[in-house]
Chain A
Amino acid sequence: MPDASGKVEINCTVNSEARTLHVFPMARLLDVLREELRLTGTKEGCGEGECGACSVLIDGALVNSCLVPVLQVEGALIKTIEGVATGEQLHVVQEAFIACGGAQCGICTPGMVIAAVNLLERTPNPNEAEIRAGLAGNLCRCTGYMKIFEAVVKACQSSSTTKTQRHREEPGI
Chain B
Amino acid sequence: MFLADERGAWKPFAGGTDLMVLFEAGKLLHKKFVNIWNLPELRGIEVTTEHVTLGALTTYTEVQANETLQEEFPMLCQAASETGGLAIQNRGTLGGNIANASPAGDSPPALLVYDAELELVSARGSRFVPYHGFHTGYKQMLMRADELIKSIRLPRRTETRHHYYRKVGTRKAQAISKICFAGVAQMNGDQIRDVRIALGSVAPVVVRCQKTEDVLRNQKVDATTVSAARAELAREISPIDDIRSTANYRLQVALNVLEDFLTNL
A-side residues, CB < 8 A to B, are: 25-26, 28, 47-50, 52, 55, 61-64, 66-69, 71-72, 115, 118, 133-134, 136-139
Contacts of A118 in B (CB 8 A): 86
Q: Is there contact, CB below 8 Å, between B173 and A137?
A: yes
Contacts of B81 in A (CB 8 A): 133
Q: Is there contact, CB below 8 Å, between B20 and A67?
A: yes
Give the shortest distance, in Å, between A145 (CB) and chain B (any CB). Answer: 12
| Cα(A71)–Cα(B38), bound, Å | 11
Contacts of B29 in A (CB 8 A): none
Q: Is there contact, CB below 8 Å, between A50 and B20?
A: no
Contacts of A133 in B (CB 8 A): 81, 86, 173
Q: Is there contact, CB below 8 Å, between B86 and A137?
A: yes
Contacts of B21 in A (CB 8 A): 48-49, 67
| Cα(A66)–Cα(B20), bound, Å | 8
Contact with A along B66-83 (1 / 0, CB 8 A): 000000000000000100
> B residues 1-54 with Cβ under 8 Å of A?
13, 15-17, 20-21, 23-24, 33, 35, 37-38
Q: At the interface, yes or no: B193 with Cβ under 8 Å from chain A?
A: no
Q: Is there contact, CB below 8 Å, between B84 and A49?
A: yes
Nearest chain A residue, comparing its CB with the CB of B89:
A137
- From A72, A115, A139, B86 is in contact (CB under 8 Å) with A115
Give the total of B residues in contact with A, Cβ under 8 Å: 24
Say yes or no: A63-B174 contact (C-beta < 8 A), given A52-B85, A68-B16.
Answer: no
Q: Is there contact, CB below 8 Å, between B174 and A67?
A: no
Q: At the interface, yes or no: B172 with Cβ under 8 Å from chain A?
A: yes
Most buried by A among B61, B81, B87, B173: B87
> B residues 73-122 with Cβ under 8 Å of A?
81, 84-88, 90-91
Q: Is there contact, CB below 8 Å, between B37 and A136?
A: no
Q: Is there contact, CB below 8 Å, between B85 and A63?
A: no
| Cα(A118)–Cα(B85), bound, Å | 13
- From A64, A69, A139, B13 is in contact (CB under 8 Å) with A69
Q: Which 3 A-B pairs have CB atoms at the shortest separation, nearest pair first? A: A137-B85, A136-B173, A67-B20
Q: Is there contact, CB below 8 Å, between A138 and B85?
A: yes
| Cα(A66)–Cα(B131), bound, Å | 31
- From A68, A71, A136, B85 is in contact (CB under 8 Å) with A136
Give the shortest distance, in Å, between B232 (CB) and chain A (any CB). Answer: 36
- CB pairs A–B below 8 angstroms (18 shown): A26-B23, A48-B21, A48-B24, A49-B17, A49-B84, A61-B61, A63-B87, A63-B90, A64-B91, A67-B16, A69-B33, A72-B35, A72-B38, A133-B86, A136-B86, A136-B172, A136-B174, A139-B174
Contacts of B91 in A (CB 8 A): 63-64, 67-68
Q: Is there contact, CB below 8 Å, between B35 and A64?
A: no
Q: Is there contact, CB below 8 Å, between B87 and A49?
A: yes
Say yes or no: A137-B20 contact (C-beta < 8 A), given A26-B33, A52-B87.
Answer: no
| Cα(A145)–Cα(B15), bound, Å | 29
| Cα(A62)–Cα(B88), bound, Å | 9
| Cα(A49)–Cα(B85), bound, Å | 9
| Cα(A149)–Cα(B185), bound, Å | 39
Q: Is there contact, CB below 8 Å, between A68 and B88?
A: no
| Cα(A118)–Cα(B20), bound, Å | 23
Q: Is there contact, CB below 8 Å, between B16 and A50?
A: no
Contacts of B37 in A (CB 8 A): 72
| Cα(A61)–Cα(B33), bound, Å | 24
Give the shortest distance, in Å, between A58 (CB) and chain B (any CB). Answer: 8
- From B13, B24, B35, B88, A137 is in contact (CB under 8 Å) with B88
- From B16, B84, B87, B174, A72 is in contact (CB under 8 Å) with B16
Say yes or no: A69-B90 contact (C-beta < 8 A), given A136-B85, A137-B84, A138-B85.
Answer: no
Q: Is there contact, CB below 8 Å, between A28 and B86?
A: no
Nearest chain A residue, comparing its CB with the CB of B21:
A48
| Cα(A131)–Cα(B87), bound, Å | 14
